[in-house]
Each structure stands twice: as C-alpha cells, then as structure tokens.
Structure 1
Amino acid sequence: MPPVFSIILAQLFGTSLWFAANGAAGDLMHAWHLTAADIGLLTNAVQLGFIIGTLTFSLSGLADRFAASRIFAVCAVSGAILNAMFAFGAHGLQAGLPLRFAIGICLAGIYPLSMKLIVSWVPDRAGNALSQLIGMQTIGVALPYGVRAVGASWPWQPSMLVSSALALIAAAMIWRLGDGPHLVRAAGAGSLDIRRLLSIFAIPNFRAAALGYFGHMWELYAFWTLVPTFIIVSGVASQSTAALSGWSFVVTAAGAIGCMAGGLWSKRIGSARVAAAALATSALCCALFPLSGTWGMSAKILLLLAWGISVVADSPHFSALSAKACPPEMVGSALAFQNAIGFAISMVSIQIGAGIVENWGSTVAWLLLPGPLLGLMGLRRLIKAGA
C-alpha cells in the first residue's frame, strides 16, 4: 500500500474518535438529560484536550524528537480505549467530560502528526497530499453520524465502539509504515525554547498563513458541531431520526470533495488562491443561510452541501503554506502550536454557538461569518506573493 494512502486511510479511521459522542448526541440528550449547550461542552472537552496535547508536543519538542509514527500509534490505541470507556463507563457529564478531554489529548498525536508524516514522505507534493489527508479527516469526523444512521436501531454504545475499532486499525497501519525519509530530527535534540517557537510568527508568510487559519477555525468546528441543528431548523430532517444522522453525515463528509478538488486545483493556481476561494464561498453560505427560510427544500439542501464542501476545503492549504514558510526542523512543532491556537479559537465559537442556538435558530450562522472574512484578510499577502 503506498505510504500516502496508508496515512490518509489511518487518518480517517483515527479521527472517527473526534465526533463519536456527537454522533450519539440525540441518544445522550435523552439518556443523560442534556441540552444543546451540554453537547457543546462535550465537544469542547475534546477541543481543550487537543489544545493541551498539541501544546505539550510543540513546547516539549516531542513532535520533532520522536518518530511521528510511534506517537500516532500510541495515541490511537489510547484513544480507542478511552472511547470504549466513555461508551460503557460514563453515565453523565461528570464522567463523560474527563474522558472526552483525554481523547482530545490523544487526537493531538494523531492529526498534527499525520501532517508531519505526509511531509516526511512527499514534501514536494505536500499541498495535494495534505488535501487528501484533510479530506479523510473530514469523513472521519462525519463517520459517527453515518454509523448511527445505519445502526439507528442499535443502542448508542455499539455505534461508538466502531470508532474504537477503527482507531486500533489505524494504529497498526501507521506502526507498520513508520516515518518517511524527510524532516528527520536528531533523537537527542532538546525541547524547544518558547521564544524560538514564537519567533516563527516573525516570518511574514507564516504569520499570514496562520491568520488565515485562525479565521478558518472560528467557523469550521462550530459549523460541524451545529450541522444537526442547521438541518433541523432548515426542515430537512427532524430531531432523533435516522434521517438527521444521515444528512449530518452527508453534509459533513461533503467537505472531502472540497479538499480533494482543492488539492488538484492548487497545482494550477496555488494553495493561497484555493484557500481564498473556499473562504469566500463559506462566507457567502454563512450570510445566506439565515435568509433561506422560504427557499425550496432542494435549494436548502444545496446550500448546506455547498457550505459543507467549502468550509474545510481551505484547511490543508493553510497547513501546506505554514509548513513551507517555517524552518524544516520546526515543522512538527510549528504546526502543532498553530493547531493549538486555532482550536482555542474554535472553543469560543463552539460554546457561544451551542449556547445561543436554541434562541437564535438559523441566525446563529451569522456568528460564524467573521471567521472566513478574517481569513481572507490574512491571505492577501500570500495571494500577492503567488503562494
């Protein structure tokens, strides 16, 4: 199996842990007497764990001192075990939140390290390969919704175990693959100085890519968290139905199309322009969604699909642009640090969005609009430079 295909397939399987609880949100709300804001807390527990994990990897230098494949495998196995513990050992938020937090820490060893693995194998094709990688991550995020739609008659616990099984397969695949021949750092290298890590923001191109990424992150995970609500308020499906899980899977997984198409398109026009086109499209969807109440059902579905496709299509290009702009020996730590800041931003939009959606309805989409607009501002320098 080609290395890039192994990595992107393992990424799909490993990141199915991310929204495993969201896929069972309807069941959890009923069984644990939760609100939409509580589901936001469960999502943010993962985000916070991811932030702590990425900061640990970046500030300690672990992301560059040890084999990325070994870190990935250990974290995938740990995440699979913790997810199973959530399914059968948690009976409310008090027990569920710490487990989701710990899963977030494990994901910090899966997602950023997958990007490093891609760069370590095919640095000359990083933009296109990262597009495929993020496309698989998008399907991985959506996968719990698809599993729940297929197993609508099952208890929610077995549905979550599917993610654990897939994460174990991912661990075995990456352990066997190992690291690529590029971007290898000496095993005895010390941890990074925080001042040196912060110094990468003095690099104009890295700073521009990071600003674009931060705007993108304000929108992306809040959108994914709110997808079931957007489907309900638009009338496409009703609460606690297999159709809701099915449409949530389709709208979220549609982002893989944007990632794949963007990767191919970037070969012709560059990553910065692809990212800008995706941000502009998702900004338009943000603006139009609250105005779509009187539209026909087909038009509403097309709008949701366009949003799902465009909202993540820019993500791999920010990673490629950032990796290209920073020193090679700091790629793993720089991407992990950038991820940590981006996910901290996402926690704010997720919690605000989940907290107000019951009162705001479809107009909560306008809360997400500043993100892609800020991202477009950040990309101006890179577009002018032809990046």
Structure 2
Amino acid sequence: MKLIQTTGRGARKAGDTIAALERRGGTSLDGVLPAVRRIVADVRRDGDHALLRYAKKLDGLVDADELRIGQDEMAAAWEACDAEMRAALTTAAGQIRGFAERQMPQSWKNTSIAGLTTGQLVRPLEAVGCYVPSGRHPLPSTLLMTAIPAQVAGVTRIVAVSAKPARETLAAAHLLGITEFYRVGGAHAIASLAYGTESIARVDKIVGPGNLYVTAAKREVAFDCAIDMLAGPTEILVTSEHGTAVEIASDLVAQAEHDPEALAVFITTRKALAKDVIAETKVRTRTNTVAREALKRNGVVIVAASLEEARGLTNRIAPEHLTVDSVEDLAWVRNAGSVFVGRWSAQPMGDYISGPNHTLPTGGQARVRGGLSVNDFVKLITVQEYDGDAIRELGPKAVLLAEAEGLTAHAEAVRVRLKNVSRGRKTNG
C-alpha cells in the first residue's frame, strides 16, 4: 500500500491520487466488448444452439441434458452438507429475509383535498434472473442475497444461473426452494436471460455480480432487459482514528482477496497508525497472493490534515464498503454502499450473515444509489381518482398549465369534465 499525505511536499501528488480515485468508474470494459457483443448477438439470434456451444466451450458443459439442474441434485447437495453448514445457510437466509421484509415498501392511499384520492400500488416483477459467480470463489452467499429479496417482493419466477455451482450454492438453492437453475455462466448466460432461448425463457431483470464479461454483457442488454447495476471490483474504505492496526488491516486484506483489481483505502489523521496498518497488511498478505497484488496495485493510505478533511475525502470517494469508528460518524456519511460501525463490525460479516445485501454499488455509484434491495424487485404504480368536487377545484388550474404548454387537447380533456360536472351529469370512459 502506498502512503500519501494531503499536506507538505506530497500534497500535489496526494491531490492527483485522490482525484483519480474520485473519477474512477466501473471497470473498463472496452477490451472485452467486441467478444461480448458477438456472444450476445449469437445467443439472441440462434438461441440454444449458440448458448450450448458457448457453454460447452467456456463452461465445460458436457451434455445439453445437464444444462438445467434438477431439484434432486439440489436436494442431494443439501444432504451432503454437514449440519453446521446447513445451520449457517439457514441462519444467513433468515437474517437476509428479515432485513428484506423490513425494507418492503407498502401500498397506500391519501386524500389531499375532498374528492381526490391518490396513492401507490406495490407490484412485484414477474421474472428475474440471479447471476451467481462460480469462478475463483464460488459464492453461495450471492444466491441468498439475490433470490431472497426477490422472494420477499413476491416475484413468481426466479431463475438462477451459475457455470459451475459449488455444492453449497446448490444447497442454498434447495433451502430457498429455487426450481429453475441452469449450469451456465458468462456473457452467454446473461444473453439467454435477457432474450430467452428454447431452454431458458427471458426474464424482466438480471441481478448479481460477475466478471468483466458478465458486466459488459449486462451493459449490452440493458436497453432490452433491466439490470441492477454494473458491478466492478470490490472496494473497501476504512476511516478511523481509534481503530487498531490489526483489525483495520484484516478488513483491508479480506476485501482485497476478492480480486487483484480490488480497491482498498485507509484514511486517518494519525500518521503512526497509517504506518502500522501498512506494516500489518504486509504481514497478512505473505501467503495471500491475490490480496497482496490488489494492495500493491490499488492500496492507498491517506493521512488527512483534519477530521473534516478525512470525512470529506471519504464522501468524495463514495466507497462500496465503509468502516467508521462509532455510530456518531453516521451523521457525516453521505456516500457509501454499506457502513460498518465500530471495531467489532468486521466487513465480512456483511458479506454473509448480517442481513443487509452484499450486492453493492462500486466505481463511485454510491453517490447515486444504494445496494441491491427488495425495492429492485417491485414496481410502484401510482393511482389517482377524482370525483366531481375535486375536478371542479383542480381542473381549472390544470387547464391553465396545459395551455401554457401549448397542449390544447390536454386542456380540452379537462374542460369536457368541467362542463359535464357543472351540468350535474356523470360520464363514463
């Protein structure tokens, strides 16, 4: 990790580094886009023929009959897990479900003036696809984090895809009662979910993280099928004055081991603590080559001139994961995917079992959105109902606004009602 200070001789270099962090976007997809576009186009045009060809070539699928994973295989995976693993999956699912239930928006109606009722209806999406990575680190937790909020929202068709699902991922699918699970990954899986094939019917929305090819494919299909977000490499930022070097470093290393491109940042006003954290990360990455590479490439320790500056830098960077010292710090946090408060709140707890979703915005997207939630799986449909008294009161004002915009038919549609209500007549249609 490199150490920079916002004051003194290194201030200009620090400014450049911080500006680069602030400007980072999602992972650059340019290098893989030509291949991804070809794969997406092939699957869209040729359906199963292209899907199976890519699945055999890229995923190692041996037989087309193995594409869809049967419920017997999922049940066998559950039985093959020991009692402790089944208990861990069950506990995590319960925590995630409880959190999603508390997030669930509600239908409501309101009367702002006599005779006018407005409100909203909450309706679930009909079909969603959950992408579950199975590369360097198979992630059964991602299936829990994507499928459970969809279930809470009331989505009737939930499709899981994963090229080489781990036994624990299949066990999680059994626990959740997933009935559609396909042994396919990469850009071709995303294309099949977005456009449909003979074997996989299209979905309304695709959620879940993936590699460069998956992310590029999600961007490619986004105008035809909704997506959650474009997820880049994992990010961690710790802003601390009172933490211990061992605990801070352990979280930095934990997130860095996801990907050599992971971003790890520590901000403090205490130079001695900054140096201790750097030393501790070196110790903790001796046998962790991925984390060591990530910290070498993208590890930054910033010594700020003041608490105010440290807090401002944190919000400018807008990290995916943020750790702060105490609950009082929440008052200044403006931009973060998920916040971990205090020394006992190890960031990996949020990856697995706390309850809040671990599918979070990266690349600075935390400036404009939060993590995946039950809200990603519902639609809010607004409703309005007038009676004669309400149209008499608000109609003339609507006519004025319509005329100001030059929309004469808009104005006339209201005038018709005003004329009829003034005559005491009721109309239909």
Structure of higher CA gyration radius = 2
Tell which has more relative contact order, 1 or 2 (C-alpha 8 A, sep 6+): 1
- TM-score range normalised by the length of the shorter chain: under 0.3
TM-score calculated relative to the size of structure 2: 0.23
Larger relative helix fraction: 1
TM-score calculated relative to the size of structure 1: 0.25
